[in-house]
Structures are given as structure tokens and as C-alpha cells.
Amino acid sequence: MLLATIKSALEDIGSALRMRRVWVALAQETIGDQHRRTALGPLWLLLNYLAFAGTFIFVFQRGDSSMANYPAYVAVGLLVWFYIMEVLTQSVTLFVREESFIKGTTLPLTVYVMRLFMQSVIRAGYALVGCAAILALSGIGVSAMWGWSLLGLVVVLATAPAAILIFAFLGVYFPDSQFIVSNLMRIGMFLTPVFWTYDNAGGVRHIFYYWNPFTYFLEIVRVPIIAGDVPSRSFLLCVGLGLALWAFALLLLGRLRKQVVFAI
């Protein structure tokens, strides 16, 4: 039974990967449509990132003046956080938004998952340009340690489709989750060390840092650039969490992919 469930999920994923031109084109079309009538087009994605980063750096830098590379710290943290936040908040309503396509076509469910994944990657690409500019202005030179940050980004990206699947099914069978997740992500930005530093502090800050899984996804990208170190423990935790999410996502996809059309 379990093997049949996993096989069904893998068949859906395999079919979607063979249709990669479809979800890539759909993602590009979505980004274009959202900015079609604007003067700057998708460049607004870059400006939005720079506006947020600049505000946090200006407002909070004095409080973290002991950190020499605080602008770079914020820039990388926001890059990863914005990607995670968009993936989770958008995925909860994914299957509901795609109801007409799901009911009217025979496309694999994973096509919609990969469409959102690619859409989020494109958005993050504009933010990445802004992040690179802030890093350059901060005087942080490119080094071999950046390869570990690149590997960290790969781990974040590889985990995203599994998270999208899980939250998309959650949104179908528990509609209130869209409001819960969006509110939690807004609050989570302040409970996650995106713009505040830990510095081995105790108390509540230690709890928010140590027991927050988002902390470690930020660290695997940020620490090699900022501190020139490899956060081995964070890598292990993120890879382990990613594998667990994929195992759960495969079970959900295999069991529910044919039933979701009746639930939305």
C-alpha cells in the first residue's frame, strides 16, 4: 500500500517534470501579468526588496552597531525570508486558486506546485540582484565560502516544492489555515533573526532563535558570507527537515491527488 502510494506520487511528479515548459511559461506569464500596466514592470520586485532592506538597515543598525556587517546580515536574511514567506503564504491557497484548471484539465497536480515554485524563484531572482548590490556596497568580497551559501540556497530551493505540496493540501482540507499561516508568517518575521542578532543571548530571544526552524535555513545561506564559516549543524538540520517534508509530501500526493478535485 505504501509503495503504491509513493509510486503514484512519483508518477505525478515525473509527469510534471516532463511538462516543465508549461509551468515555466505559466510562471513567467503570471509575473508579467502582475506588472503589465506598470511603468517599471517586474523591476518593482527589486525596488520593494531594496525598500525593505534599506528601512531595516536604517532603523535597526544602531541597535546592532556591534556587528560590522549588519547591512549584509539584513540583506541576506531578507532574501531568504521573503522567499520562504511567499512560498508558504501562496501555497495555502494554491489548489483553491487553480480550481478551474484542476477540474477542467488532466494536468498533474505537481504542475501547479512547480508553477508557484518557479514564480517564487523568479521573484527571488530580482531580490538577489538587490542583495548582491548591498553586499558589494558593504565591502564583502567574494570568496570560496560563498560556495557553501550557494549550497544553502540549493537546500532551500529543494525543500520548497515539498512545503508547497503540504501547505496546498492543508489549505484544501482546512480552509482557515490560509489566515493562520499568513498571520503567523507576519509575526514570524519578527520572531526569526532576519534583522536582529542572537549574540548568545538568553531568555526569550534564545527560544526564538534556537527552536525556530527558519533560523537554520537563514543560517546556511548567511553564515558562510557574513562569518566565513560553515554552519554544519544548521546544514544537517535543514537537510533532515527537507527530507522529512518530502516524505510527508509524497504520502499526501500519492493518497490525495485524485481526491482533491472533489474537495475544492
pLDDT in single tens digits along all 264 residues of the chain: 788 888 999 999 999 999 999 999 989 888 888 878 888 888 888 999 999 898 888 887 755 545 678 899 999 999 999 999 999 999 999 999 998 888 888 889 999 999 999 999 999 999 999 999 999 988 888 888 899 999 999 999 999 999 999 999 999 999 999 999 999 999 999 999 998 887 776 677 788 888 999 999 999 999 999 988 999 999 999 999 999 999 999 999 999 988 898 888
pLDDT at position 187: 93
> Which pLDDT score, from 0 to 100, does residue 24 have?
92
| Cα–Cα distance measured from residue 263 to residue 256, given in angstroms and rounded to the nearest whole number | 10
pLDDT at residue 232, rounded to an integer:
94
Note the pLDDT of residue 32.
83
Range of the domain at 238: 2-263
- Write down the pLDDT at residue 63: 54
Instruction: Please give the distance of CA 91 from its chain centroid, rounded to a whole number.
Output: 10
All three cell numbers of 23 = 509551468
Domain count, the chain: 1
Give the pLDDT of residue 33: 82
pLDDT at 101: 87
Which residues have a Cβ under 8 Å from the Cβ of 13 and sit 6 or more positions away? 108, 110, 253
Residue 160 burial class via C-beta count within 10 angstroms: exposed 0-12, middle 13-18, buried 19 and up: buried
- Using the CB atoms, write b or e for 231-258: b if 16+ within 10 Å: beebbebbeebbeebbeebbebbbbbbe
Closest among 126, 119, 142, 30 to 78, alpha carbons compared: 126
